[in-house]
């Protein structure tokens, strides 16, 4: 499990829970971040409590998806503004350095989804292009820049979120059985040796009635099979509206389907305890 926290300081009950059920890591959001000094201190405290190889994650892409923001941090452009390999590499390096200096080990970028006209704006300008070749090439450069700073990138949202008509934060998108997904898969195939990938909460009707995050078939046949991704697979946030069931049921379901790590972001104590206990107890 990677879990969220409630606020900018680690509460005593949160610290106790982290010691009782050590997660794979922690993800921080804007609610947890106020100044460079504060976030470095919080990450240092987490590093003392968690395992030496624990993940300290932030969802920092640039553009509208940024938890480190002005005035304390530089606002980077959205992916859609990056037009050359040089710009993408520089963007990745700037992103990596910013995240590293704040004490994190990992950022949930780059987005390798394609931009589709008429699709939900949940991807929109977070996508590098509508052209899979461009997305693959520029995404690789962003990832290279992030890694040059000593930060682990996470490609997302595998096997492809771009054509979704519904925002998966609000509901469950479904991709029609007859959709040709080869273009959507291509950027992920081209980057299938990168270390981490994040799943899409989307039903691909040609393969399963369950969303990819909870689908053993999609994970085995598409993500691990056709795409050939060999790294660590983490779910998107299990609290999103696309999924049903309790947080604990979602966490166990994602892991049983083949995710290596499940992500639960809200930071509520009851939810955190429920998912950590369920995963620790194997049910």
Burial label, 160 (beta-carbon count in 10 A; 0-12, 13-18, 19+): buried
Q: Give the mean pLDDT of 46-52.
A: 96
Out of 113, 208, 236, 237, which one is annotated catalytic? 236
| Helical pair 269-281 and 12-20, crossing angle rounded to 10 deg | 10
Answer yes or no: is pLDDT of 283 > 70: no
Question: Which sequence spans correspond to the domains of the chain?
Answer: 2-281
Half-sphere exposure of 220 (CA within 13 A, CB side): 9
| Whole-number average pLDDT of the chain | 97
Task: Answer yes or no: is pLDDT of 170 > 90.
Answer: no
Identify whether 169 is a catalytic site residue.
Answer: yes
pLDDT value of residue 168 = 80
Provide mean pLDDT across the span 98-104: 99
Class of domain 2-281 as given by CATH: alpha beta
pLDDT at 61: 98
Q: Which residue matches tokens 């520029």? A: 138
d(CA 260, CA 153): 16
- For the segment 127-165, what is each residue's pLDDT rounded down to a tens digit? 999 999 999 999 999 999 999 999 999 999 999 999 988
Q: Is 72 a catalytic residue?
A: no
Q: What's the predicted TM-score (pTM) here? A: 0.96
9-17 contacts, C-beta under 8 A, 24 or more apart? 9/42, 10/42, 10/45, 10/46, 10/49, 13/269, 14/269, 14/272, 15/45, 15/49, 17/269, 17/272, 17/273, 17/276
Selecting among 72, 169, 260, 268, the annotated active-site residue is: 169
């Amino acid at each position: 499990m990677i879990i969220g926290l409630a606020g900018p300081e680690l509460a005593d009950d949160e610290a106790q829970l982290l010691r009782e059920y050590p997660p794979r890591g922690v993800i921080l959001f804007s609610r947890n971040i106020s100044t460079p000094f504060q976030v470095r201190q919080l990450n240092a405290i987490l590093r003392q409590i968690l395992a030496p190889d624990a993940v300290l994650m932030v969802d920092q892409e640039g553009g509208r998806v940024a938890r480190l923001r002005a005035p304390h941090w530089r606002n980077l452009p959205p992916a859609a503004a990056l037009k050359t390999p040089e710009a993408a590499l520089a963007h990745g390096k700037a992103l990596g350095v910013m995240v590293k200096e704040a004490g994190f080990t990992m950022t949930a970028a780059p987005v390798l989804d394609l931009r589709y006209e008429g699709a939900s704006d949940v991807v929109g300008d977070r996508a590098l292009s509508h052209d899979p070749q461009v997305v693959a090439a520029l995404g690789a450069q962003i990832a290279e820049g992030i890694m040059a700073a000593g930060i682990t990138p996470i490609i997302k949202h595998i096997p492809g979120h771009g054509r979704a008509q519904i925002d998966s934060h609000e509901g469950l998108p479904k991709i029609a059985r007859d959709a040709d997904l080869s273009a959507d898969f291509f950027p992920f195939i081209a980057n299938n040796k990168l270390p981490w990938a994040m799943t899409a909460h989307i039903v691909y009707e040609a393969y399963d009635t369950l969303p990819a995050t909870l689908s053993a078939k999609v994970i085995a046949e598409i993500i691990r099979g056709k795409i050939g991704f060999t790294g660590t697979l983490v779910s998107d946030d299990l609290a999103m509206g696309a999924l049903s069931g309790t947080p604990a049921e979602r966490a166990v379901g994602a892991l049983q389907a083949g995710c290596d790590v499940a992500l639960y972001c809200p930071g509520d104590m009851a939810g955190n305890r429920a998912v950590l206990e369920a995963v620790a107890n194997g049910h």
